Every structure is written in C-alpha cells, then in structure tokens.
Amino acid sequence: MKINFYGKFLKNEKIALNDALDIFEHFFPLNNNIFVEIHSINKTESKALNIKYFKKNHSTDVITLPIFKDYRNLLESNLNEDVVLGDIFISKEDLKINAKKYEKSLIEELQLVLVHGLLHLLGFSHNQETKLKTYEEKILSKLWNER
C-alpha cells in the first residue's frame, strides 16, 4: 500500500506515517497498487466534514471515508489495477491538543490516527471497539517498540 499526501505534511511526518504504514502491513498485507489518500486539514474543514458525514457539530483529529465495506470486500475487488482504499482527513490542530492531553508527541498522534483510520478503511468500526482497539494497540506497540 502507498500513501498519497494532500495538504501540508513535513518530511519527518511523511516518514513517520510511512513507517506506521509498513508496520500496519505486517498485520494486513496489501498490494503496492493500493493507495490511501491522506489530507491535512484545519479545524474548520474538520468540523464541516464531521457535520456533513457524521452529523457531529465539532472538529475532530481524524475523519475516515472508506471506499470498501471491509477488508474481505477489498481483497475480492480487482487488485490488478490501482485501487484507492479511501480518504483519511487529519486535523493537526486537533492532534496537537490530543498530544498535549495524552502526553504524546505530534508524531505519535499522527501515527495513531493513521493506524486508527486505516482500520476504519478496512471495515473496523466503533461498534467492534474491542477488536478495533486490540489491533490498534498491537500495531502501535510494534511500531513504537521497534524504534
């Protein structure tokens, strides 16, 4: 899988996000012709997307818009062509607030929301909170302990 970046991402942020993607693929192997679109947005844009898609009147750190129903549905599609898995919109303003609140670095928060967003793109939802959090913790533990 590969990332297409839109908006402002610093070089070290792109490296950290690609590192997280590499570890993610240990758990969910995907072809190199699968892309995820990652957008850097501001709080205003985040709030507007959150209202439009989720009827929530506030900004948030990450919004994920999947193309496929789940991982199995993706694997059943034509993987001989380039495929977009979905979009992940990241509000760095909200990330900075969360980083301070949870005593993490901005890079750690970026990696966390990428992993969280990728899991949503593969069909994991908050209706399966235990499963979602279990994968998230396994992936992040491997990522952060291999530095």
pLDDT confidence of residue 68: 83
What domain range includes position 55? 2-145
**CATH code, 131:** 3.40.390.30
What is the per-residue pLDDT across 73-87, written as a single tens digit (0 to 9) for each?
777 776 678 889 999
Q: Over the stretch 64-116, which tens digit does the pLDDT of each residue have? A: 999 888 777 777 776 678 889 999 999 999 999 999 999 999 999 999 999 99
* pLDDT value at residue 11: 97
Average per-residue pLDDT in the chain? 92
Q: Which residue is listed with tokens 């996000």?
A: 17
| pLDDT recorded at residue 80 | 75
**pLDDT-derived band at 127, boundaries 50, 70, 90:** confident
Separation of alpha carbons 23 and 8, rounded Å: 23
Number of folded domains in the chain? 1
Average pLDDT over residues 16-37: 93
